[in-house]
Amino acid sequence: MGNDADRYRRFLDGDDNGLREIIDIYYNGLTLYICGIAKDISETEDIVQETFVKIAVKKPKFDPKASFKTWLFTIARNIAYNYVKRYRSRMSDQPIEDHITLSDGTDLEKEYLKTQRNIDLHEAMKKLNPDYFQVLYLMYFEDLDTEEIASIMHRSKRQIGDLVYRSKKSLKSILEKAGFQYEDF
């Protein structure tokens, strides 16, 4: 998305509307994605705000080799994991993955996932392993390709391919247990 990179360059050149446009475009999708990591809507909002503050204040360099969306989601994911590690790991000695839980359904999710089918699918995805949730969300809700997902999740393309396969298999099982036929989705 060259336009998003152009918006960021405009912002770096002093046009605050460039950043406002980026926030308008990515806020909902980024919030929903980060909610899959933080699993708490208030923490999610803090993380998303911290992401936009980071690009506004620190103005990290954008590498045009990646898409702007991939770059932004990678920054947000890193902030989310650092946030979860920083605030939740103090609670116990359990691995960070044990602290990751998804939030209850919110109006934000329902507004973003407008159709009932997508809401049902998203609810089923919440029951997945966090990595499975992330890979499916990025692929099907954010329409990213395997290479972009690999970059965001710090994995190889092959690992992402394997994750997609296992994620779909697990999701199919969850949907069938809930009474949905796989062809419905």
Read off the pLDDT of residues 89-110 as tens digits, 9 standing for 90 and up: 655 555 544 444 444 445 555 5
CATH number of the domain residue 78 falls in: 1.10.1740.10
Dihedral sign, Cα of residue 72, residue 74, residue 160, residue 122:
negative
DSSP sequence for 87-143: HHTTT-SS-GGGG--PPPP-HHHHHHS-SHHHHHHHHHHTTS-HHHHHHHIIIIIS-
| Number of domain units in the chain | 2
In a shared domain, residues 61 and 73 = yes
What pLDDT is attached to residue 177? 87
In a shared domain, residues 68 and 23 = yes
Phi-psi category of residue 154: left, alpha or beta, with phi > 0 → left and psi -120 to 50 → alpha: left
Q: Is residue 185 part of a domain?
A: no
In a shared domain, residues 1 and 87 = yes
What pLDDT is attached to residue 51? 96
What pLDDT is attached to residue 185? 47
In a shared domain, residues 117 and 89 = no
In a shared domain, residues 34 and 73 = yes
Residues 131 and 27: their CA atoms lie apart, in Å, by 21
Residues 6+ apart with CB under 8 A from 50: 79, 83
pLDDT truncated to tens, each residue of the chain (185 aa)?
458 999 999 999 999 999 999 999 999 999 999 988 888 888 999 999 999 999 999 999 998 888 999 999 999 999 999 988 887 665 555 554 444 444 444 555 555 545 667 677 778 888 899 999 999 999 988 999 999 999 999 999 999 999 999 999 999 998 888 887 655 44
pLDDT digits (tens, 9 = 90+) for 106-119: 555 555 545 667 67
* Domain containing residue 5: 1-110
In a shared domain, residues 148 and 103 = no
User: Where a domain ends, among 86, 110, 134?
Assistant: 110
In a shared domain, residues 12 and 101 = yes
CATH number of the domain residue 158 falls in: 1.10.10.10
What pLDDT is attached to residue 92? 53
What pLDDT is attached to residue 167? 94
CB 51, CB 60: distance < 8 Å: no
